[in-house]
Amino acid sequence: MAGRRGAGDAGDGARVAGAGGSVTDLWQIILLRPLWLVGVPLSLLAGAAVALRGNGLDRWRRVIDPDLLVALRGLGHVVEGRRDAGPWLLALAGGLTAFGLAGPATRDPDAPVLRNLDAVMILMDLSPSVTQGGGFDDAQAAVSRMIDRHGTRPVALGVYSAESFLVSVPTEDPAALQTVIAVADTKTMPVGGSRPDRALDLARQTLADAAAAHPDVVLVSDGGGVGPEALDRARQMAAAGLRVSTVFVVPDDPPYGMPAPNREGLASVAKAGGGVIVDASDFSGVETILSERQGAAEANDTLRNLRYSDQGRWFVALALLPLAFLLRRRRDA
């Protein structure tokens, strides 16, 4: 439980990027640049407008005498109009090009396998007011629940009182952390007090060392020691892309002389950190803390481009076919 920090086995990865998979996954289509789809209906509308305006001799019939038009036709000066497929060919080519630029992509079976960067760090308050306040069992159960429900996200664990200590760097196999949680008690920490600001500093440094992309920090406490320093740390972490949530440990029988629980303080930390606050006894709420951002790395454009192969080039190449028919007709003319 030393305070030594290390990247361990969690600092060199991103979420599994979808290697392999079933046939259904392989042919799953997404659009990498969906705004280009606007060009498809616009191309078809433009082609329809041009084609419908080419009405042969209809305009002539509106402006000259019918007998004169018959005479001009007899002399060969005007010919009966015919429907031209040119506008429709251009519209088809434009629509195919726009669809290709929208980036239709299929899952790449050869995509690299990367590890999840959506790390979670749990900070457990082991100050006397928590461990002796009668609600410590709920705190242990809440932390154990989060470890069980972490999904594919690496989990790190830190404990704190007046000082903070790193139990584990982010790991994808946190089963060993359950043992640490189970044996924690009033004698675990060498000093008393409660400094959540120092625990948040520890979390920020640990997650930075692990190169976490979308990290969550969960502070499990009765709110002891929350002050301007902790609020300032939470704001800084939120600005840096970390989300700070809190789990309030409700004391059943606070020991004499210990500070009163401070749910409002924990709520302020969660608000400053862009997270949420739940009670330790609310298991469904505890699970929500992690599930809300589960899989956030998959939304990253870089990872998405790694997972899918852009097939748009084939649609752009297919657009050359109607253009070839159009050029052939013009040459014959």
149-207 pLDDT, tens digit per residue, is 766 788 899 999 999 999 999 888 777 888 888 888 878 888 888 999 999 999 999 99
Which helix (H) or strand (E) segment is 247 a member of? strand 243-248
Looking at 5-19, 203-217, 233-247, which range is the least confident one? Answer: 5-19
Q: Cβ neighbours of residue 67 under 8 Å, at least 6 residues apart? A: none
CA angle 55–56–57, rounded 5-degree value: 110
Banded model confidence at residue 302, pLDDT cuts 50, 70, 90: low
Q: How many CB atoms lie within 10 A of CB 101?
A: 18
Asked whether 60 and 73 are in contact (CB, 8 A), the reply is: no
CA trace torsion 198, 199, 203, 204 (10° rounding): -30
Q: Cβ neighbours of residue 1 under 8 Å, at least 6 residues apart? A: 159, 165, 166, 167, 180, 188
Tokens 């006894």 correspond to what residue? 281
Average pLDDT (269-287) is 89
This model's pTM is above 0.85: no
pLDDT in tens, 111-151: 554 455 678 899 999 998 898 888 899 999 999 988 887 66
What are the residue boundaries of the structural domains of the chain, listed by start? 25-109+306-332, 120-299
- Backbone phi and psi for residue 72, each to the nearest 5 degrees, phi listed first: -65, -35
Residue 325 gets which letter from DSSP? H
Asked if the 120-299 domain carries CATH number 3.40.50.410, the reply is: yes
Q: What is the model's pLDDT at position 110?
A: 64
Q: What is the model's pLDDT at position 26?
A: 44
